[in-house]
Amino acid sequence: GGGFYQFDDLRPGQYQLHIPVANFDPGQPLDGFVTCTGAGADEVSDQNVDENGQDLSVAGGISSNVFDLQSGAEPMGEDQSSYTGALTDADVNFTADFCFYPPTERVAVGNLVWIDDGGGGGVADNGILDGAEVGADGVSLALYRCGVQVGVGTPVSSTVTAGGGFYQFDTLVQGSYYVHVAPANFADGQPLARYISSTGQGADELSDQNADENGGDTLTVVGVSSNCFDLQPNSEVSAEDQSNYTGALDDDNVNFTADFGFVLLTERVAIGNLVWIDPNDNGIFEPNLGEAGLSGVTVELYAGEPLSGTLLLSTQTDPDGHYLFDDLPGGAYSVCIPNTEFGSGSLLIGATSSAPEGGDSARDDNVDENGQNTFSAAGICSTLLDARPNSEPSGEPDQALYTGAHDDDNVNMTVDFGFVRPVLSLGNLVWDDLNDDGLFNNGEQGIDGVLINLYMDFNTTGVVDPYEMFSPVLTTTTASGGLYLFTNLVPGIYVVELDPSNFDAGGPLVGYISSDDAIAGTVGDYEPAPSPDDTTGPQGNAIDNDDNGQSIASVIRSTEITLKLNQEPTGEVLDNDPATPDASENLTLDFGLYRPFGLGNRVWHDLNNNGQIDDGEPGLPNVQVSLFLADGQTQIDTLFTDANGYYRFDTLRAGSYVVENVENNFEPDREYSGALLGFRSSTI
């Protein structure tokens, strides 16, 4: 509609608007535009005199200043003709404007990809074009805005070196860019096969190719990137060699210093070592204490970082827990144990990485565990490994296990993963709470066959988030008198739930509700249920054998419970876990369920006054009926008969009650009066 936008129905608070960098990609609405100069710092001036986009590079996009939106306090009288919502003028701020323009001057970046081999009297691998070193033609390059990730975002442009290794990206909009040498260049048969970036990445953008090489030093099989270049009109380096520039821009609009030197790799590398169970969680492999490697664990090798790189290889640990990735080109790698190894039925179900997090590849497996302690989408991974020929650790103890052909200093046998298997458990009882007091007592019985779901706070926010409730981490079914148990749990925060299917037709809990639920209009000590983390229940009841389930929406579940090693309740009465140490098992999370009663039924016109409903006698609608306890004084509920004279009081506890046809039904000029005006009770 002419560039207008709106975010409607917001809560009061502080907000910031952002135009993502993707809008500036080729073919997108802001391709070729930059933000206008002079961002407005207030939120009152309207769009005719105030532009709010901050004057920053579009590397990550363009953001506004912060707007403090408050009810009834927004600017009045600004042009709101494009507003399509229902809020009042004082609740709408239509001053958050963004201005962009196509700059009149453009910029360019380039220059050379060469083989830094010391040819013709030069010095090899010094990052300087010297001697008779030559450029490399046919190398594919891509240009990205800084902040855009290779393989995720769209490049601004791409080109191929020619004429002696030269390249250029011309007529660019001002901004921050980096040049990327694509990974395909390093494949067998391609111009940079078995080459790596020269040593010594230039950190500035002023030195030319004779003394400054800008490719990243880290060996990589995901390509090589330059540092960022902030290209601005009339501000670029002058007098560098631009003899190969074929465009029409002025010297100070062209930066021809983005150079890449490469050195031939004649040797390859290998990465390996050990996955083991570390019961004492110290990150040290101690076979003298009975620690052993874990056989059959899947190990994956990624090019670069696991979340942005490429999965290259997969293997499994041998009978002693060792693994090996051999005959690799030098490069940046990550080793990961995938998340599938920690799922149900897997070797490492529930396990966590040993507490130490070694990042030093020079230390061997006896003193250094390399698995990072936080799960990622790729699992538990090592830090980024810079695998460089003739630079790997030597003399590590497990080097003797290497069966390949590479030299010791080309083999890294130090990338180890220690894991701690959990020793926590959680249970315990689902029972029929006959007296609905929230306590397991008076000969009450457990309910078998109940499906139980367990959910976990995986992202460690302190609560089990709604999206973490989409799929249980474990399920089980009650047995042996209503008992359930989840074992092999890690410390953390959990929620236990009675699966909704239990309440479906044919399920074990049809007709049941949570103990002490809203029975006959009241709520007792156990609804909402006490937290399973509490040391005592309501009225001083012990934590065990009380009801921890509560009705939440359409399901019955506990609130969050925190499990900690050696800090759980001891001495529980119903102990169905003989394996876990008492102080690491929590067998107090119980669910009391109650099957309530209903009471009704009908108010009717007894035409023949015989006290019985005969054929043809109609029900009387809209009659007010009240329910009392047996004392006739304590009112519990009131309702009206339906169109056929029927009524029903649901969810009642076992006991004696009085139903009253209230006085108002027989009296005129009273609220809800007249439904039984002129009637009297049938003769009985």
CA–CA dist 346, 398 (Å, integer): 27
Can you give the pLDDT at residue 71? Answer: 92
Using CB atoms within 10 Å of the CB of residue 103, give its burial: 0 to 12 exposed, 13 to 18 middle, 19+ buried.
middle
Asked if residues 468 and 459 have their Cβ atoms less than 8 Å apart, the reply is yes
Can you give the pLDDT at residue 529? Answer: 67
pLDDT digits (tens, 9 = 90+) for 559-616: 999 998 888 888 888 899 988 888 889 999 999 999 888 999 999 999 999 999 999 9
Which of the two residues, 38 and 386, has the higher pLDDT score? 386
**Which pTM does this prediction carry?**
0.45
CA–CA dist 23, 29 (Å, integer): 6
645: left (phi over 0), alpha (psi -120 to 50) or beta: left
pLDDT digits (tens, 9 = 90+) for 98-132: 998 888 889 999 999 999 999 989 998 888 889 99
Asked if residues 614 and 608 have their Cβ atoms less than 8 Å apart, the reply is yes
SS3 content of the chain, % helix, strand, coil (to 5): 5, 30, 60
Which of the two residues, 459 and 29, has the higher pLDDT score? 29
Q: Which stretch, 173-177, 263-267, 384-388, 426-430, has highest mean pLDDT?
A: 426-430
pLDDT digits (tens, 9 = 90+) for 399-411: 778 888 888 888 9
Which range (138-147, 248-257, 370-379) has the least confidence?
A: 370-379
**Token output for 536:** 């005592």
Which of the two residues, 334 and 290, has the higher pLDDT score? 334
Q: Which stretch, 473-477, 529-533, 675-679, has highest mean pLDDT?
A: 473-477
Which of the two residues, 522 and 166, has the higher pLDDT score? 166
To the nearest whole percent, how much of the chain has pLDDT over 70?
Answer: 86
Which of the two residues, 160 and 152, has the higher pLDDT score? 160
Can you give the pLDDT at residue 386? Answer: 85
Paired sense of beta strands 62-69 and 424-426, if any: unpaired
Q: Which domains does the chain have, with CATH numbers?
A: 1-102 (no CATH), 107-264 (2.60.40.10), 269-420 (2.60.40.10), 422-595 (2.60.40.10), 598-666 (2.60.40.10)
What's the mean pLDDT when you consider all of the chain?
84
Mean pLDDT of the region 234-263: 89
Can you give the pLDDT at residue 387? Answer: 86
Question: Taking 60 as the threshold, does the pLDDT of residue 385 lie above it?
Answer: yes
Paired sense of beta strands 591-594 and 430-432, if any: parallel
Q: Tokens 């054998």, residue?
A: 545
Question: Taking 60 as the threshold, does the pLDDT of residue 229 lie above it?
Answer: yes
CA–CA dist 495, 456 (Å, integer): 6
pLDDT digits (tens, 9 = 90+) for 625-667: 999 999 999 998 999 999 999 999 988 877 899 999 888 888 8
**Token output for 564:** 């900690």
Question: Taking 90 as the threshold, does the pLDDT of residue 540 lie above it?
Answer: no
CA–CA dist 235, 174 (Å, integer): 11
> Which band of pLDDT confidence, cut at 50, 70 and 90, is reported for residue 344?
low
**Token output for 480:** 């042996």
**Token output for 513:** 């509700």
Question: DSSP per residue over 55-78, as a string?
Answer: S--TTS-EEEEEEEE-TT-S-SSS
Can you give the pLDDT at residue 435? Answer: 85
Question: DSSP per residue over 235-300, as a string?
Answer: -S--SS--TT--S---GGGEE----EEEEE----EEEEEEEEE-TT-SS---GGGT--B-TT-EEE
* Per-residue buried b or exposed e for 441-473, using 16+ beta carbons within 10 Å of the residue's own CB: eeebebbeebbbbbbbbeeeeeebeeebeeebb
**Token output for 531:** 């937290």
> Which band of pLDDT confidence, cut at 50, 70 and 90, is reported for residue 554?
confident
CA–CA dist 404, 398 (Å, integer): 13
CA–CA dist 370, 376 (Å, integer): 15
> Which band of pLDDT confidence, cut at 50, 70 and 90, is reported for residue 359?
low
pLDDT digits (tens, 9 = 90+) for 481-513: 999 999 988 888 999 999 999 999 999 999 898
Question: Taking 60 as the threshold, does the pLDDT of residue 23 lie above it?
Answer: yes
Q: 494 in helix, strand or coil?
A: strand
* Positive or negative: CA dihedral 213, 216, 218, 222: negative
Can you give the pLDDT at residue 368? Answer: 54
Can you give the pLDDT at residue 567? Answer: 86
Question: Taking 70 as the threshold, does the pLDDT of residue 437 lie above it?
Answer: yes
Mean pLDDT of the region 31-35: 84
Mean pLDDT of the region 302-317: 89
Can you give the pLDDT at residue 546? Answer: 84
Question: Taking 60 as the threshold, does the pLDDT of residue 289 lie above it?
Answer: yes
Question: Taking 80 as the threshold, does the pLDDT of residue 528 lie above it?
Answer: no
CA–CA dist 414, 393 (Å, integer): 8
pLDDT digits (tens, 9 = 90+) for 198-216: 876 554 444 444 444 555 5
Element (H, E) at 172: strand 166-172
Using CB atoms within 10 Å of the CB of residue 57, give its burial: 0 to 12 exposed, 13 to 18 middle, 19+ buried.
buried
